[in-house]
A and B are shown apart, each in its own frame.
Chain A
């Protein structure tokens, strides 16, 4: 649908390959693409302007490097600048030296403050603190009830002396400032180490509510004021952030709903405009979907450079760890991979959601975007049906599949015998390949393998970079169904080998700048893979 920045830059630089230096004209085209990418990611217009000006300045002249092609170089610069702004001064929560640490939450309506209050409390509790939640949102109907429920789920006490508004037509009663103060006193008495004050959501232009928030701030003298902002917010982010900075002078930012697919340019806008660090990211509806903010991931997300880490996390969540371990053992011990194993793997893949979605998350998929678009998700279902129409014995040993069995399977799965044949044939090829690999002692799919010609390029993470061409091309041929089984197997091996190699590169967003591309380091790799494998 929308080509991402790397695709577009690749296009821009198509005629530039081999050129060692960036001229002003080259950069103009690039800057336009970057500007567009940032705007599509909802980065605020003024921020885009200063940002692209910086890029232009840096890209021109000085930093011409021999190791990178122009496209890689510009992306590297953009990425570095993004990370510099986003991660300028990441820091942990500041705790009070004595007495309870007071954390106040502020933000627009619907940004997710109340939910976040629970997550923060849960997070702090996990660190050995004894948080107390204070319900100072007396504005929104049932906000107090919601906080109570959230507190209960988190196993954290909630201080809610006022019931707040429980009916839509009620006038807000009670004084949130007093509630906050009382909450603080209560925490001191009961020796809670942290007090989290949930305040009412407000519009940036609502003077009255903003004054109330600043009154609360004065009354409880929080150690941290966290500004909660929705990752989906558009150009209004700047106005909102400025209003809140003036109103409550927040000390840190929390980005919520990052589990959505918004590209979250607001993060950049807020960080740039207010200079306040983004401290946490909220990534789901459950209490522990809460994490420390990763500037590097955010940078590649804003640039839409593919988000391998997200993909990996998704896999991590849905993949059955026991099953994965069993498979791993099979491979290392050189046991045969059977259709039953295949089926279980495929079912796990299905759990991960839409295949197209996953594919588009992979960097470098831009070039085969059309093919992805055309992919029929039900292909998986059909394959599943074929395998499920086999008996367990047949699944373990496809060799016994004779003509009559095959026609039974075809009938059972509603497919043609030719479909069954093709599945079996391809399965056997793959099986052979796996055997070869486990005999060779090499881990399948690990970079550094012979034949993984594309791996170094994949490391670059920039599709269309010279190196990754090597990887892309065979893939395209794979799509074109090479008739030669040996060639085909090789291509598949290539593709597979290339893929995991990308994971580490995404950790540092584009890899290239940070790692020598040719040098595939096993330690670094396993460290990165460990992220995927559950820390």
Chain B
């Protein structure tokens, strides 16, 4: 039961594998002498599906339809302003307090570092920021440390990145698809719903695909979002449907109806579940058959700690991420993890979720974000 002869230079690897096998087989033997091994658990298929009923109402591009049940959402401009004071009240105030003291002592540096750490910026990114700030201060000892930190933070956030949704221009006739991914409980379905509203507000015709066939009532939830702005929602007819097939149906329908944007909601999955990540890969592949996804948005919860980086990395391997939606920023969490993500992977935040209201999804504004970090 040894596996240590796999060819190639995998020897080390193989010894490890061998260890595992021995652990499995020989261990059983050892035990088998004293007692029977218990029956084996069914292999976990984490995503047996749950809810899966039928497709949605007819397409109804909304802005033009003054029907009472269907509403026109608020335009997205200036939503970001709501964020400023809130985040500023946290990190910004303490930074202000530090900088008011004039020259920085070691304690101040420590405090500064701690403040960044408390915002979930992460140890590595914090170290880099601190080093950056120190270098800037050395180069220009007279400068206002606050302005320097702003510049340093802004460098990390990089306002130059394109943060608009790459879904083509309105009315260009082509179908653009976007897939929303993320771990469980970060607010993917809500984000899809809110994004649909944003797009409808921009006069785009949208089709939603409820490829979350696992979580109980997820498709219902998406459907309520869709119905509200008059966007068709494609969902499965049977329990436990293959999410990829739902995604394909949605894409197919979007094409048939000549919709401009297809938004696919996926089930939450932890990035270390290989089977589920494979399933996601399949969703991306089948959607690509109709229209290669021009946006793959990772939804990150602002409370997420350093695991957010792993999430971005692993999801990125399966479905190349084009942007991040940072949700639940209206709580006490600062969402500093996005700095680490962008620094490491170059994936920009495109939208932020600022509350439970239907229009509480705002485009991310780097300068505004940094300013609010600094309490301006």
The residues of A with any CB-CB pair to B shorter than 8 Å are 36, 39-42, 44-45, 108-112, 141-143, 145-146, 148-150, 166-169, 203-205, 230, 232-237, 239-240, 243, 257, 259-263, 265-266, 284-286, 311-312, 315-322, 324-325, 327-332, 337, 341-342, 345-346, 348-349, 351-355, 357-359, 362, 365, 368, 371-372, 375-376, 379-380, 382-383, 386, 415, 419, 422-423, 425-427, 429-430, 433-434, 443-446, 475-476, 478-479, 481, 491-492, 495-496, 498-500, 503, 526, 529-530, 532-535
Q: Is the CB of B39 within 8 A of A321?
A: yes
Residue of A nearest to B40 (CB): A321
Contact partner, B303, options A240, A316, A429, Cβ 8 Å: A240
CA distance A317 to B21 in the complex (A): 14
CA distance A18 to B37 in the complex (A): 45
The answer to whether residues A146 and B25 also contact, given A236-B120, A265-B305, A478-B11 and a CB cut-off of 8 A, is: no
Contact partner, B20, options A499, A526, A534, Cβ 8 Å: A499
Q: Does chain A have a CB within 8 A of B15? A: yes
CA distance A443 to B24 in the complex (A): 12
The answer to whether residues A320 and B40 also contact, given A112-B184, A203-B328, A234-B304 and a CB cut-off of 8 A, is: yes
Stretch from B148-156, B215-223, B240-248, B367-375 forming part of the interface with A: B215-223
B-chain residues with CB within 8 Å of residue A259 when the two chains form the complex: 270, 272-273
Residue of A nearest to B71 (CB): A169
B-chain residues with CB within 8 Å of residue A149 when the two chains form the complex: 50-51, 216-217
Q: Is the CB of A261 within 8 A of B7?
A: no
Q: Is the CB of A328 within 8 A of B274?
A: no
The answer to whether residues A205 and B16 also contact, given A233-B304, A285-B214, A321-B40 and a CB cut-off of 8 A, is: no
B-chain residues with CB within 8 Å of residue A36 when the two chains form the complex: 123
Q: Does chain A have a CB within 8 A of B258? A: no
The answer to whether residues A478 and B7 also contact, given A168-B358, A232-B305, A262-B307 and a CB cut-off of 8 A, is: no
The answer to whether residues A317 and B15 also contact, given A149-B216, A325-B28 and a CB cut-off of 8 A, is: no
A-chain residues with CB within 8 Å of residue B12 when the two chains form the complex: 368, 371-372, 475-476, 478-479
Q: Is the CB of B331 within 8 A of A354?
A: no
Contact partner, B274, options A167, A240, A353, A526, Cβ 8 Å: A353
Q: Is the CB of A260 within 8 A of B5?
A: no
B-chain residues with CB within 8 Å of residue A349 when the two chains form the complex: 3, 17, 20-21
Q: Which residues of B in the span 262-300 have a Cβ within 8 Å of any Cβ on A?
A: 270-275
CA distance A234 to B332 in the complex (A): 11
CA distance A279 to B221 in the complex (A): 32
Contact partner, A426, options B5, B303, B306, Cβ 8 Å: B5
Q: Is the CB of A478 within 8 A of B15?
A: yes
The answer to whether residues A499 and B29 also contact, given A423-B6, A427-B5, A479-B12 and a CB cut-off of 8 A, is: no
CA distance A357 to B317 in the complex (A): 14
Shortest Cβ distance from residue A24 to the other chain B in the assembled complex, whole angstroms: 18
